[in-house]
């Protein structure tokens, strides 16, 4: 949110007999964070408490966020001595995103630094920021030298039992389904991000982390100890090769612990993960161009082995005016008329740019080829040089399956080497976004989601996709680009139950800097003209995103703007019967008329209806949605 002036700010630093030490509010007075001492006084165990203003009064949202770290030489948890709370400062920054849900972003918050000392006289700082859409905090060891292991992070969130939650069971590919739960009855490890709804209020919050870098590992959430306490867990020893405990070198700062908070609109529209992450290291970015991609893997698992199939999908991209096509695994075994060099030349001759897949090479038991060209700096640089000479625009790298510190190093090594040759990157079989797309804007997207690929893996997605698709915009896709590989009308190995309108809508509902259109050519050529033209023009990077309505697992309607044009899309789940969706268009520019092209569900799930209207910001759009249905619309200003 942009502020035209510094708004009022409340900071209370008190030294009474009770346990609260520091308390301050967000700029709009909706969020309040307090620092408390469990033992009273200036020494003890410290925790944060988060409150949210509801009906004019603050309500307790997260009653306790336990704080602390266990370092190999000493602990920073119990018996911490409060030294001081620094003078609060206004963090105010504007930056541009090259892709994502919003192009112009504002990192605006109040920050204070609280200093502690442990019984061994070692120092630890807690850096706290309060935003209009959440709270972030991180640890800092300010001393100038020393190298240690972090043996445990003691950060944990006490979540009241009556808080509703949407959680995904942890696995190293982050490709599970979210589970909606009314309590904490299931105890296990959980993926980020985790969504919670506070009972009897309009307050929601989403837990995540950001700005993970070489100095630490990624973490997960775990309530295996106490069912209502979600603790940050560092990787287990068996999760990939290498040392599980991260090594830190002083001075050191941890990743940000992120709590997005507010209405569902606040959550969905938030850029908080990017806001707190390290700014771009790149000075020249003209070569970074988001766009739609044709992709042959979904419809033909071995498609890239066949030169003729590669050509068909290059022709599809050219016909649909999509800038890219992807050559997936087995391109090194290409036959039936051509090689990788021939394929690159053919693709470029059609005005399309090729992208290409690689195995990370980090696991001997994953033998999909090419398997060994990314693992070292020397081999990467040689491969990237060859790709650049052949005209490739980017690389897809697969199979990371670890969140230890050595794997974080590997991710960032790839990004830095790819930038040298101006190659875009996207990761598969990977962690979910941690804000790297701001630091490395050529990182276009991540998998880290159960996407359409799972129609090839078993029958599960057939039944679960309608609900799953309506949860992802409130969870996984909030924190960064998501390569679901959407918009498939024909069937792969297992069928859809979503309507054609639902599938068309995913091109807008799901955000990804490289949006892979996964269907076979006839799936797109067989569409009515309006739907096919919609897919020719729909962007995949946005200037603005607006949440219209919805609820996780039931339905969602989003509006996204690119330049002066708006795109609106909505989907419903199996839990929602056929309904009329009302969309208020009051977000349109006042005094401007727009030509609306609406493509929505027809009489049955494989039928589409099209209508055209002139609308303005006083209009209300009524759209029929089938069960498991959807719609997509474009709105273009009418020039006077």
Q: Quick check: is 253 in a domain?
A: yes
**Rounded Cα gap, residues 305 and 302, in angstroms:** 6
**At which of 247, 275, 303 does a domain end?**
275
Residue 348 lies in a domain: no
CA 19, CA 15: separation in Å to the nearest integer? Answer: 9
Within a domain: residue 232?
yes
Contact 367, 332 (CB under 8 A): no
Q: What is the DSSP string of 34-64?
A: EEEETTSTTEE-EEEEEEEEETTEEEEEEEE
**Residue 107, domain member (yes or no):** yes
Domain that holds residue 28: 11-275
Give the count of domains, the chain: 2
**423 occurs within a structural domain:** no
pLDDT in tens, 267-285: 999 999 999 999 999 999 9
SS3 for 347-373 is HHHCCCEEEEEEECCCCCCCCCCCCCC
Report yes or no: 179 and 167 within 8 Å, Cβ to Cβ. Answer: yes
Residue 577's Cβ-count burial label (10 Å; 0-12, 13-18, 19+) is exposed
Residue that the structure tokens 């509010």 belong to: 25
Residue 254: inside a domain, yes or no? yes
* Rounded CA separation 301/522 (Å): 17
Domain assignment present for residue 402? The answer is no
Q: What is the pTM of this model?
A: 0.96
In the block, tokens 């092209």 appear at: 597
Residue 467 phi, psi (nearest 5)? -75, -45
Among 269, 268, 195, 261, smallest CA distance to 32 is for 261
Query: Where residue 154 sits, what CATH number does that domain have?
Result: 2.70.98.10
Given a contact cutoff of 8 angstroms between Cβ atoms, the answer to whether 156 and 231 are in contact is yes
Confidence (pLDDT) at 27: 87
Cα–Cα distance measured from residue 56 to residue 444, given in angstroms and rounded to the nearest whole number: 41
CB 510 within 8 A of CB 486: yes
- Find where tokens 């870098």 sit: 213
pLDDT computed for residue 11 by the predictor: 38
Measured CA distances, 595 to 541, 545, 568, 609, 616 (Å): 21, 20, 13, 17, 9
CA distance 517 to 324: 10
401: left (phi over 0), alpha (psi -120 to 50) or beta: left
d(CA 134, CA 136): 7
Cα distances (Å, whole numbers) of residue 602 to 486, 524, 620, 625: 20, 17, 20, 9
- The answer to whether 480 and 433 have CB atoms below 8 angstroms apart is yes
**Residue 239 CA from chain centroid, whole number:** 22
The dihedral through the CA atoms of 413, 398, 97, 129 has a sign that is: negative
DSSP 246: P
Look up the CATH number of the domain holding residue 584. Answer: 3.20.20.70
Comparing CA positions, the residue from 602, 544, 552, 590 lying closest to residue 568 is: 544
Work out the burial of residue 146: count CB atoms within 10 Å of its CB; fewer than 13 is exposed, 13-18 middle, 19 or more buried: middle
Neighbours of 411 (CB within 10 A): 25
CA distance 354 to 392: 5
Nearest to 482 by CA among 434, 452, 449: 449
Asked if 234 contacts 150 with a C-beta cutoff of 8 angstroms, the reply is yes
Tell me the C-alpha distance between 310 and 328, whole Å: 10
CB 167 within 8 A of CB 552: no
The answer to the question of residue 234 being in a domain is yes
**Residue 555 near residue 578, CB atoms below 8 Å:** no
- Reading the block at residue 583, the tokens are 């969309």
pLDDT of residue 14: 37
pLDDT for 5:
34
Predicted local distance difference test score (pLDDT) of residue 4:
35
Q: Report the 10 Å Cβ neighbour count for 300.
A: 16
Q: How far, in Å, CA of 372 to CA of 350, rounded?
A: 30
Q: Is 335 helix (H, G, I), strand (E, B) or coil?
A: strand
Please tell me the distance from the alpha carbon of residue 135 to that of residue 622, in angstroms, as a whole number. 37
Compute the distance between CA of residue 143 and CA of residue 140 in angstroms, rounded to an integer. 9
What stretches in the chain show pLDDT beneath 50?
A: 1-18
Q: How far apart are the first and last CA of the chain?
A: 32
Domain end point (choices 225, 245, 275): 275
User: For residue 546, with 0-12 CB atoms within 10 Å meaning exposed, 13-18 middle and 19 or more buried, which class applies?
Assistant: middle
C-alpha atoms less than 13 angstroms from C-alpha of 447 in its C-beta half-sphere: 21
Choose one of 275, 298, 320: the last residue of a domain. 275
> Cβ contacts of residue 259 below 8 Å, gap of 6+?
50, 62, 134, 135, 136, 205, 206, 207
Helix locations, 244-303, DSSP H: 264-269, 272-275
44 token code pair: 């003890």
């Amino acid at each position: 949110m942009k502020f035209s002036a510094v708004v009022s700010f409340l900071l209370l630093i008190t030294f009474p007999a009770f346990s609260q030490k520091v308390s301050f509010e967000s700029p709009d007075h909706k969020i309040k964070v307090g620092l408390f001492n469990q033992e009273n006084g200036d020494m003890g165990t410290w925790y944060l408490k988060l409150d949210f203003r509801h009906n004019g009064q603050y309500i307790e949202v997260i009653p306790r966020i336990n704080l602390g770290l266990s370092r190999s030489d000493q602990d920073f948890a119990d018996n911490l001595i409060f030294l001081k709370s620094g003078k609060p400062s206004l963090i105010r920054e504007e930056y541009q995103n090259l892709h994502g849900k919003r192009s112009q972003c504002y990192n605006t918050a109040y920050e204070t630094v609280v200093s502690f000392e442990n019984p061994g006289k070692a120092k630890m700082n807690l850096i706290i920021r309060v935003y209009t859409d959440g709270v972030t905090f991180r640890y800092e060891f300010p001393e100038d030298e020393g190298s240690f292991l972090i043996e445990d992070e003691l950060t944990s969130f006490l979540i009241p039992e009556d808080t509703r939650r949407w959680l995904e069971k942890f696995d190293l590919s982050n490709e599970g389904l979210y589970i909606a739960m009314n309590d904490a009855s299931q105890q296990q490890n959980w993926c980020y991000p985790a969504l919670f709804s506070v009972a009897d209020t309009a307050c929601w919050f989403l837990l995540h982390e950001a700005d993970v870098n070489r100095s630490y590992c990624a973490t997960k959430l775990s309530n295996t100890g106490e069912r209502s306490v979600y603790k940050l867990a560092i990787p287990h020893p068996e999760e990939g090769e290498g040392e599980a405990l991260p090594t830190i070198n002083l001075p050191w700062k941890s990743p940000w612990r992120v709590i997005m908070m507010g209405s569902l609109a606040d959550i969905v529209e938030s850029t908080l993960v990017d806001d707190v992450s390290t700014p771009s290291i790149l000075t020249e970015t003209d070569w970074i161009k988001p766009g739609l991609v044709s992709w042959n893997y979904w419809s033909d698992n071995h498609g890239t082995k066949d030169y003729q199939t590669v050509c068909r999908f290059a022709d599809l991209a050219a016909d649909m005016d999509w800038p890219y096509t992807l050559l997936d695994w087995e391109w090194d075994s290409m036959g039936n008329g051509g090689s990788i060099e021939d394929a690159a030349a053919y693709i470029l001759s059609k005005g399309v740019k090729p992208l290409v897949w690689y195995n990370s090479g980090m696991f001997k038991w994953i033998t999909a080829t090419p398997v060994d060209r990314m693992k070292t700096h020397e081999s990467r640089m040689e491969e990237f040089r060859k790709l650049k000479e052949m005209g490739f625009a980017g690389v897809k790298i697969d199979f990371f399956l670890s969140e230890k510190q050595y794997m974080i190093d590997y991710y960032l090594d790839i990004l830095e080497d790819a930038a040298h040759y101006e190659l875009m990157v996207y990761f598969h079989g990977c962690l979910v976004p941690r804000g790297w797309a701001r630091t490395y804007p050529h990182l276009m997207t991540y998998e880290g989601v159960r996407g359409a690929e799972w129609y090839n893996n078993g029958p599960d997605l057939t039944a679960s996709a309608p609900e799953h698709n309506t949860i992802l915009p409130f969870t996984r896709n909030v924190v960064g680009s998501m390569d679901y590989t959407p918009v498939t009308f024909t069937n792969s190995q297992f069928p859809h139950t979503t309507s054609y309108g639902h599938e068309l809508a995913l091109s807008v509902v799901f955000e990804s800097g490289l949006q892979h259109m996964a269907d076979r050519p006839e799936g797109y050529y067989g569409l009515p003209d309006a739907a096919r033209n919609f897919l020719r023009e729909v962007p995949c990077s946005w200037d603005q995103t607006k949440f219209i309505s919805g609820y996780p697992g039931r339905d969602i309607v989003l509006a996204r703007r690119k330049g002066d044009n708006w795109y609106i899309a909505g989907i419903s789940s199996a839990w929602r019967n056929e309904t009329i969706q009302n969309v208020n268009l009051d977000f349109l520019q006042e005094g401007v008329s727009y030509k609306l092209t609406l493509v929505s569900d027809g009489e049955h799930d494989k039928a589409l209806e099209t209508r055209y209207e002139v609308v303005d910001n006083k209009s209300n759009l009524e759209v029929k949605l089938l069960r498991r249905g959807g719609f997509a619309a474009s709105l273009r200003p009418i020039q006077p």
